[in-house]
Amino acid sequence: MGTGKRGLIASGVAVVCAVTVLAAPGTAFASPTPTPGASASSTPMPTKDLEAVREKLDKLYREAAAATDAYNAAEEKAQRQSAELVELAKKIVEGREELRELKERAGAAARAQYRSGGLPDEAHLMLSDDPQDFLDGAGRVLRGQHATKGLIAAMTRAQQDLEQYSEDASAQWKKLEAGRKAKASAKKKIEERISAAEDLESQLEESEKKRLAELEKQAALKAQTAWLDSGVLDEISGKATEQGKKAVEYATAQIGKPYEWGAEGPKTYDCSGLTSQAWASAGSPIPRTSQQQWQQLTRVDVEDMRPGDLVIYFDDASHVALYVGDGAIVHAPRPGRTVTLAGAGSMPILGVVRPGA
């Protein structure tokens, strides 16, 4: 990559670092040098031990992110299943009303026959002495038979439909209950992982927390530098579409807002909540979770990505960010962090997907 372009990126990055605390895992553009004036513990934790803490925290937050994806998927499915259950309930009510009306019609026909002496129409017809009455009566009998058959068939269909709606509702309810259990399980895992991470961080001295923040930045910077040194940025020259520009504009306007798992804005976001809302604002709704976005959206080569595309991270597609250009992304990193800019290569890239393709 040309030194001019690299210098331009470095200058832009320096400005970003000056005004925001870049989050890990996924923050690039941070100085690898220690923070001047940081207070030191009387017995500072060895760097290798602090690095182990960083890796443990990264693992805990990644597991929380994966569980968050599972929670969001279960929540979305529960909403869809609840809506379907409501529709089935409406059909059951309508079916019962239709069956009631059909039974009333059948009852009315039976009462009419009783009032005529209990004889069927065919018997009355045979007892008629008037030829014209006989002919008129024959037509009425045929129409009556047809109507009776139609009424019986309609009652049978209504009863069958009602039974099917009831079976479908029962099956849907079981799915809803299973989804609720999956959602509860995911929520428990999220809370356990976040709690463990927070407990681990709380055991650190203030000076160690500052050193840990530097290690996080260094790890992200190292990954971003390796990504840039591959020359990939020289190949990326895609122009943003109008929708892509709107998505980028929305996402960057959220910078500084807190991360919250399961949140879709407008005050807090998780990673896929940010990207899904960014594209919804651009008029192109996309799946809710990072894994669904990876599975369902059009995949493009990293070299072909353009602003507005989504960068999917880690082997389990548990994190997603929105590419803004010049090798940078905007994303909601993890609990305790805010929506921020970072290097697109500061985390292991699984692939790139394109909404609206």
Question: What distance in Å separates the CA atoms of residue 134 and residue 49, rounded to the nearest whole number?
Answer: 106
Q: What is the pLDDT of residue 126?
A: 47
Higher pLDDT, 233 or 117: 233
List the catalytic residue out of 17, 124, 146, 271.
Answer: 271
Q: For 333-355, how does the pLDDT look when each residue is reduced to its tens digit (9 = 90+)?
A: 999 899 999 999 999 999 999 99
Active site residue 146: no
Coil, helix or strand at residue 214:
helix
250-259 average pLDDT score: 96
Coil, helix or strand at residue 337:
coil
Q: What is the pLDDT of residue 10?
A: 38
Higher pLDDT, 185 or 36: 185
List the catalytic residue out of 17, 124, 146, 319.
Answer: 319
Smallest CA-to-CA distance from 208 within 219, 218, 200 is with 200
Tokens of 152: 């019986």
Active site residue 17: no
Smallest CA-to-CA distance from 31 within 261, 182, 222, 190 is with 222
Question: Percent of the chain having pLDDT more than 70?
Answer: 75
Q: Are 343 and 328 within 8 A, CB to CB? A: yes
Active site residue 124: no
The pTM is what?
0.62
